[in-house]
Structure 1
Amino acid sequence: MTIFAESALLGSEWARNIRVIVEDGRIAQVEQGAQPKDHDIQVSVLLPALANLHSHAFQRAMAGMTETRVEGRESFWTWRDLMYRFLDRLTPDHIQSIAALAFLEMQEAGFASVGEFHYVHHQPGGQRYDSESELSQRIFAAAEQTGIGLTHLPVLYTYGGVEQQPLEGGQLRFGNRVDEYLNLLEACRDRLPLPDSAIGIAPHSLRATSAHDLREVLDHTTDGPVHIHIAEQVKEVQDVQNALGARPVEWLLNNADLNDRWCLIHATHMTDAETIAMARSGAVAGLCPITEANLGDGIFNGATYLPAQGTFGVGTDSNIRISAPEELRMLEYSQRLRDKARAVLVPEAGSVGQTLYCGAALGGAQALARKAGQIAPGYLADLVAIDRTHPTLCALKDDQVLDGLCFAAPNGLVTDLWSAGRHMVRGGRHIVRDAILPAYRTAMRDLLQNV
C-alpha cells in the first residue's frame, strides 16, 4: 500500500509531494518530491496519528448522564458514585458493544491506538466469570472489529482506600489479589487480538493498591508500560499524604524507579519541585484535559513541566467527548486561563499547535510502548489524513495547519486513518460503522431498560 500526500509532517519539518510506502503495517519507505502513481491513495495532508493513552471505554455510555447538580454537593466523588451504580448493570455484551463504538469514534477523531485502562474484571458483586479474562476478551473483540491499535492495561485494584479498606459496592467488580492479577496478565498476554497489540500493567492508584503489592507486581513485570492514576484530586493528595507521609507524586519519586516505562495519569496537583523531578524521570504525563475539566479536577502544571523537557501525551479518559484536537485545545486553553497569557506551552518560540501535536504524538507512543508518533521508515503506519480544503484550513500555510487544526477546526476533518497500516477510516467514516452503531443502540436499550 502506498499513500501520496500533497503535504506531510516529517519529524518537525513539513514536506511536499510525499509517497509513504507501507509494508506489513510499518512504514517501509518515504519518498520526497514524488509524483502520485496509479493505485496510490491520495490525501491532502498526512500526519502521524495520535495515541489515546488513557481510556475507560465503558464510560462512553455514560456521556451526558452525570451533568445534573445534586443540591448541596457536586464533585468527582458524587460522579464516582453514579459510575458505580451504572457498573451494576453492565454485562459482557454491553462492554463489547460500548468499547467498539468508543474505539470507532477515536479513530474517526484522529487516534490510531488506545491505552485501555481496564478495571472491570468480574460480575456485579465480585463473582468471577468462568474465564478470568472474560471482560478483557470483550475489549479485544472490540479492538479486532475496529482495527484500532491496542495497548491493554489490566488494572490492579485491591483496596477501597489508601488505608486499605475492603472493597464495597461497585468496586467489587474490580478486585484482585496480586496472585490473581498476575494470572490475569498472563491470560491476557496469550490472547492479544492483533499483531501490534501490547500489554502493560496498571496499578490503579495509591488509593487502590499498597506499597507491598506495587513492588510485587513490578518485580514480576520487568518490561512494558506501567500506568497509574496519580494526584488527580485534592482530597486524594491529602489522603495519601496523611497515610503515607508524602504527596502522591513525591511518594512515587521516592519509592519507585520512575523511568520511561511509566505513565502518570493526570498528575494534576504537583508542586514545582515534583513537576521538575517528574519531567527529569522520563515518565510520561498522561493528560486528559476534557475529562479533567468535566470533573473539575484542576489544571496541570504545564508551564513548568514542558520547559523542563517533560514528556506528555493525551487521553480521552471518561470518553464524554472524543476528539484529538480538542484535548490539545483544552490543554493549552486551561493554561492560558490560569496564567492570563497566550501561547503558554511553547517553551521558547514556535507554533503552539505543532508543539502540542508533535509532543503528544511522541509521548503517547512512548506511553503505549508503540513504535509510532512520526512518519519515518521502521515506524508503525499509525497515520491520519485531514482535509486541507476545509474553510478552516484552506488559507493556512503548512506550518500553520496544526494551529488551525488544534484551535479553529471543527470535528470531521479526518478523511482517512490507518492503525498499523489498517485503513479503517475512509472518506471520514469508519469502515464498520454500519455494523457497530446498531449493536451499540441495542446494548443501550437493554442497559437502560430498568433505569
Structure 2
Amino acid sequence: MPPPSKKPFLPPTSYTRQFEPAAPAAPAPARPAAGAHAGETGWLPDLVYTGDTFEEGLAFFADPLGRITRFSREPADLAAARRLPGQAAMPGLVNVHSISWQRALRGRTEQVARNVEPIAGAREAATALAQRLTPEDIFETARMVFTEMLLAGITCVGEFHELQNRPDGTAWPEPHLVADQVLRAAREAGIRIALFNVATLRGGHGQAPETAPARVRAASIDAFLRETEALRAAVAGSLPADEAWIGVAPESLARVPVDAFKAIGTYAHAQRLRVQTRVARSAEDVAACVAEYGRGPVAVLAEHGLIDKRLTVLHGNQLSAEDSKLLGTARAAVGVCPLSEQNLALAAAPVEALLAAGAGVVLGSESQGQVDLLREARALEYGLRVAQGRRPVVAADAARTLFTAATVTGARSLGATGGALEVGRPADFFTVNLYDPSIAGADPETLLASLVFGLERRAVKEVWIGARQRITGGRHPNQGPIVGKFVEMQRRLWGKPATP
C-alpha cells in the first residue's frame, strides 16, 4: 500500500450540507476497538471514499449510537482502529425503488410470445403471482431480496408496498399484516427500509374503481389515508426512526384520480412524508393522461401543486423537456430502474436533461431481475450511449454522477440518514476487495470508475449499518437458512424443484 497522504485532511462534512441533517442511528453497534475513545468503534481500510476522492491512511470512528464521530490520521488512532487490509470503504448504496415480492418471478417471464406487449405481459404475470402469495411467502421473498441487497452493498431500500389485501380484496383480520411481514423481513436481514404504502383506486384512466386488481385496491381514499396513518403511527411507535419509516405512493395518475392524489399530497405534507408515484412510463401512459386531463402527468401534478422536493417520480421514460424543467425547478427526484425498464423494452429517461434542470436522479431495482445497484448505474449510462451514439452521457465524470445517484441523492429521496461517510451520519458502508479480478490494479484516481463500470458483486466483502456488521467475508450470517427457506417456498409455489 502506498504511504499515507501527507496533505491536511478535513472531515468530509460540506458536500452534502444541502441535504437534511442526520437523525440518531440504530443502537447496539459493534464492540469498540482497543484504544479508541470511550465507546467508539473504528475502521482503517486501505482506502476511504470521502465524497471527493479515495483517501489513504485514514481511519474513521463511530459512537455507541452508530454515528460517525471523526476521521483521523493520528498514529494512535490508526493503531486503535480495526484494520481492513486490501479493502476500500464506500458509503452504503441506497435502492430507492423495490418491489420485493416480484423476486419470485425471476427467470419465469422470459419465454413469451413475440407479439405480447411487454408491460401488459409483465403486469399479467405479476398479477397472477400476487393472487397466490401468502403473507409468509411475502416475508420469505422480501427477506431473500433484502439479503441480496446487502450482499451488493445496499444498506437502505425504498419498498413499494402494494399487496395490502387478501386475494379476494377483503381486509386481513390483523391490521397491516403484510406490511408487518415486509418490515420483519427487513429487520431480520438487517437493512434500513422506507416502506411506501401504495394507493390504487382504479384500474386505469377513466375506469371504475372495481377495475383495479383486488389484491391492491383501496376501498376509498379516506380508507387509504386512515390505514396509512395507523401504519405510520404503529411503525413510529415500535421501530427506531432511522431503521424503518413510512412514505406514501399514489400508484400513478392512471390509478389514482387527481382529487384523491391531492388528498394524499396534503396528508404527506402534513406528516412530512416522502412521496413516490409512477409517471410517463410509456407513450401510451402519457396519451391516456392527456385524454383524461388534457395534459401530461407532470403538467397535471404541477398544476395542482403536487411537485416538490419530497416527490420522487418513478421511471419517467417519456418525460418531455418541459417536464424535466418542472421537476428540476421543484428539486424533485426521478427514480430510474434501468435493468427492469430495459427488460420491458422501455426507453431510458432523459437523465441528462433532468440533471441539467436541477432534478435528482436516483436508482432502483424494481422487479428484482437482478439485484445490483452499480450494474443499474452502468446500464443507465450504457443505454443512453447506445441511444445517442456518444460517450459519456449523464455527465463528463459519469462515474461520480452515477455513484452520487446511488448514494447521496438516493438517501435524500427516501429521507434516509445515510448516503455519505461524514461526521454526524450513520456508519453505513460497504467494503470491496481491492484484489478482486474485476477491479484489481485500480489506483485511487481510477477506483471509482472501476467500481461503477466494472465491479462484480462478489467483490463486496463487508457491509456495516449503524456500525453493526451485516455482511462478513461476502456472506450474510443467516444466508443458508434464508436461501433454503426461499428455495422451499419457490418449490411449493411453482410445483417443481427450484434452485438458489
TM-score tier (shorter): over 0.9
Q: Determine the structure 2 residue equivalent to 1:42.
A: 84
How many pairs align? 448
Largest Rg, 1 or 2:
2
Amino acid at match of 1:55: S
The answer (yes or no) to whether the contact 2:44–2:81 under 8 Å persists in 1 is no
Corresponding residue to 1:430 among 472, 476, 482: 476
Superposition deviation, residue 235 in structure 1: 1.1
Q: Determine the structure 2 residue equivalent to 1:328.
A: 377
**After the TM superposition, which of the residue ranges 291-300 and 87-96 deviates more from structure 2?**
291-300
Superposition deviation, residue 254 in structure 1: 2.1
TM-score, normalised by the number of residues in structure 2: 0.86
The answer (yes or no) to whether the contact 1:49–1:110 under 8 Å persists in 2 is yes
- Aligned pairs for 1:3-42 (under 5 A) are 3-23=43-63, 24-32=65-73, 36-38=78-80, 40-42=82-84
The answer (yes or no) to whether the contact 1:85–1:170 under 8 Å persists in 2 is no
Pairing 1:254–2:306 present: no
User: What is the Cα-based RMSD across aligned positions, in Å?
Assistant: 1.8
Amino acid at match of 2:388: D
**Counterparts of 1:56 and 1:62, CA distance in 2:** 11
- SS of alignment partner, residue 399 of structure 1: coil
Residue ranges of structure 1 left out of the alignment (5+ in a row): none
**Counterparts of 1:33 and 1:403, CA distance in 2:** 30
**Counterparts of 2:144 and 2:163, CA distance in 1:** 18
Amino acid at match of 2:325: I
Q: Determine the structure 2 residue equivalent to 1:360.
A: 406
Q: Determine the structure 2 residue equivalent to 1:215.
A: 262
Residue ranges of structure 2 left out of the alignment (5+ in a row): 1-40
**After the TM superposition, which of the residue ranges 181-190 and 257-266 deviates more from structure 2?**
181-190
- Aligned pairs for 1:356-435 (under 5 A) are 356-435=402-481
Alignment CA distance shift 1:257-1:41 (3 Å): farther
**Counterparts of 2:427 and 2:486, CA distance in 1:** 29
Corresponding residue to 2:492 among 420, 428, 446: 446
**Counterparts of 1:115 and 1:176, CA distance in 2:** 24
TM-score, normalised by the number of residues in structure 1: 0.95
- SS of alignment partner, residue 313 of structure 1: strand
Amino acid at match of 1:56: I
The C-alpha deviation readout for 1:173-221, integer Å capped at 9, x for no partner, is 3434222212222332234344412211111111111111111122223
The answer (yes or no) to whether the contact 1:198–1:369 under 8 Å persists in 2 is no
The answer (yes or no) to whether the contact 2:335–2:364 under 8 Å persists in 1 is yes
**Counterparts of 2:164 and 2:207, CA distance in 1:** 20
Alignment CA distance shift 1:266-1:378 (3 Å): same
**Counterparts of 2:212 and 2:231, CA distance in 1:** 26
Superposition deviation, residue 306 in structure 1: 1.9
Q: Determine the structure 2 residue equivalent to 1:145.
A: 188
Corresponding residue to 1:120 among 153, 157, 163: 163
Q: Determine the structure 2 residue equivalent to 1:183.
A: 226
The answer (yes or no) to whether the contact 1:16–1:32 under 8 Å persists in 2 is no
Alignment CA distance shift 1:71-1:8 (3 Å): closer
**Counterparts of 1:313 and 1:94, CA distance in 2:** 29
**Counterparts of 1:401 and 1:167, CA distance in 2:** 53
- SS of alignment partner, residue 264 of structure 2: helix
Superposition deviation, residue 132 in structure 1: 2.8
- SS of alignment partner, residue 207 of structure 1: coil
The answer (yes or no) to whether the contact 1:137–1:188 under 8 Å persists in 2 is no
The answer (yes or no) to whether the contact 2:89–2:429 under 8 Å persists in 1 is yes
The answer (yes or no) to whether the contact 1:84–1:169 under 8 Å persists in 2 is no
**After the TM superposition, which of the residue ranges 2-11 and 178-187 deviates more from structure 2?**
178-187
**Counterparts of 1:360 and 1:322, CA distance in 2:** 13
